[in-house]
Amino acid sequence: MKQKHFYIYNKVKSMASMVMLFIYWGILGTALQCLTSCDAENSISKDYLCQFTFFCQNHSGNTLEIALKGLGSYTFVSVLYDKGWYIKSSPNDKRNYTEKIKITTAIEIQELKKTCLGANNGIIIGHTNFGGIVAYDRQCPNCIKNYGGTNYPLEWNTKDYSKVVCKKCHRTYELENGIVENKQEGDVKLMKYPISYYNAVDKGMVISAKNRL
């Protein structure tokens, strides 16, 4: 009888230990998720408004969508009004080419009128090799910080098109993670914006970059 009670006691003790272990890992997982979420939130720049929506299905083969689909592919994006609305896209495919996408539908024009592309009408979107899709401001954040103003556009590094360079301060930024190559004390990363690429009901694939609701 004592052996039976001892067996039951050990069984209950073992089950209790397993329950406590599950609770522990559950709490740890939640804590890690919160930390990851906080880090992601803290990495988003809110110094300048970014609000951009692009409906891909109306523009087959567009270079914005191509940039989000290919690892290591990026493109400069800006908005132009010239007797009509256009989105300009300059990919890093070494062709030195800018696609000028004419916007004609009412819903697209309505969205473009609300568009703000960061510090000075320019963002960089693309697909990193390891971190998924990204959106950065096209202006050099270190020149904005050091000199004021917002007219320091980044250009493709012609030696390595996965990087961009500032002609003012000559800093080179890696688009994989937004950091300055050969970083010096006080250097800051590229301003980063949230971006999503999703299938919307009745609208097809949509690209959205917004840092405020």
Q: What is the pLDDT of residues 86-116, one digit of tens each?
A: 999 999 999 999 999 999 999 999 999 999 9
Percent of the chain with pLDDT over 90: 77
d(CA 208, CA 5): 64
Q: Which residues contact 136 (CB under 8 A, 6 or more apart)?
A: 123, 124, 125, 175, 178, 190, 191, 192, 193
For residue 22, is pLDDT > 50? no
The SS3 of residue 99 is strand
Phi, psi of 166, deg, nearest 5: -100, 125
CA 43 from centroid of its chain's CA atoms: 10
Q: How confident is the model at residue 28 (pLDDT cuts 50, 70, 90)?
A: very low
Q: Which residues contact 11 (CB under 8 A, 6 or more apart)?
A: none
Q: What is the pLDDT of residues 182-208, one digit of tens each?
A: 898 999 999 999 999 999 998 899 999
d(CA 103, CA 34): 40
- Among 172, 73, 78, which residue's Cα sits nearest to residue 122? 78
The SS3 of residue 179 is coil
Work out the average pLDDT over 141-165.
97
CATH fold of 50-210, please?
Rieske Iron-sulfur Protein (2.102.10)
For residue 12, is pLDDT > 70? no
Q: What is the mean pLDDT of the chain?
A: 86
32 vs 43: which has the higher pLDDT: 43
Work out the average pLDDT over 19-45.
49
For residue 21, is pLDDT > 80? no
Tell me the two tokens of residue 113: 């009128």
Q: What is the pLDDT of residues 72-93, one digit of tens each?
A: 999 999 999 999 999 999 999 9
The number of residues in the chain equals: 213
